[in-house]
Amino acid sequence: MLRILEQHNNEQDNKKGRERNKSPFLLGPYLFQAIYSVEQKKTAIKGMPVLMRRPAELRAHFHEASAKARALARLLRKGPQPSVALAAHDEAREAVTPFQPCPTVQSPHRSETVKPLAELLDTAAASLDSMPEKILSAPQRAKSGARFELQRLAASTLVRRFRKELNRPYHLHVAAIVTALSGIHTDADYVKKIEKRNLPATALRGQSS
């Protein structure tokens, strides 16, 4: 696998008529993000008691928060409203999005973007609506454990980055890395299942695995 990555980076560097690749694909940062996110998520859950509620109560909480965010956005649009400066799009933040229940709102461009607060509130409301489906219920979290969470997050992150950076998902290679990382036997079918769960069907159509 390391040889494949090395060859890919060399090909990118040697392409004529194109700027030299300044950011070769390295596994280290993504493995670190996957491990760190597990610890971060455990800490976040302890500080957010609402996450320990029953599924029905959890859904009600986030739907209420979403409705209030949209109501505030409508109110702000009736008069002057603050604007928010979003920092340039950060690919490192994007890489951890798959294992965050609510993604970070950031600029869609590689430069700072100024957005009305009402628009950001609508974006936040949409994220809040989707959160209950992404967060495990308390009993499920207790059963899964940190190792299983690490297995899922590592598979999700790596297969996504491999497909983007190497144009192929390398399911078998990802499975081998996840097995070594989590200590849980992982096969290519598991990685395919995780990828299919996280991506729209149209994103996978016509792409070789």
Q: For residues 40 and 65, state if they share a domain.
A: no
Mean pLDDT of the chain: 76
For residue 165, tell me if it sits in a domain: yes
The residue with greater pLDDT, 208 or 3, is 3
Same domain membership, residue 113 and residue 62: yes
pLDDT in tens, 77-124: 999 999 999 888 877 667 666 556 667 788 888 888 999 999 999 999
Statement to judge: residues 142 and 127 lie in one domain: no
Residues 93 and 155 in one domain: no
Higher pLDDT, 191 or 149: 191
Give the pLDDT confidence score for residue 19 in this predicted structure: 55
Indicate whether 132 and 142 sit together in one domain.
no
Share of the chain above pLDDT 90, in %: 21
Angle at CA 189, nearest 5°, toward 45 and 41? 10
CA–CA distance, 190 with 208 (Å, rounded to integer): 17
pLDDT at residue 96 in the model: 60
Looking at the structure, do residues 143 and 130 belong to the same domain, yes or no? no
Residue 180: domain span? 26-52+138-200
More confident residue, 38 or 190: 190
Same domain, 69 and 43: no
In this structure, the answer to whether residues 66 and 47 fall within a common structural domain is no
Q: pLDDT, tens digit, for every residue of 136-188?
A: 544 444 445 677 878 888 898 888 888 888 888 889 888 888 888 788 889 99
The number of folded domains in the chain is: 2
108, 136, 164: which is the final residue of a domain?
136
pLDDT tens digit sequence for 12-51? 656 544 555 455 566 766 777 677 766 776 676 677 777 7
- 55-91 in b/e form (b: 16+ CB < 10 A) is eeebbebbeebbeebbebbeebeeeebeeeebeeeee
Q: Is residue 169 part of a domain?
A: yes
Name the DSSP class of 31: H
- CB contact set of 113 (below 8 Å; sequence gap of 6+): 85, 86, 107
Where among 136, 162, 186 does a domain terminate?
Answer: 136
Single residue among 136, 165, 184 that ends a domain in this structure: 136
Quick check: is 166 in a domain?
Answer: yes
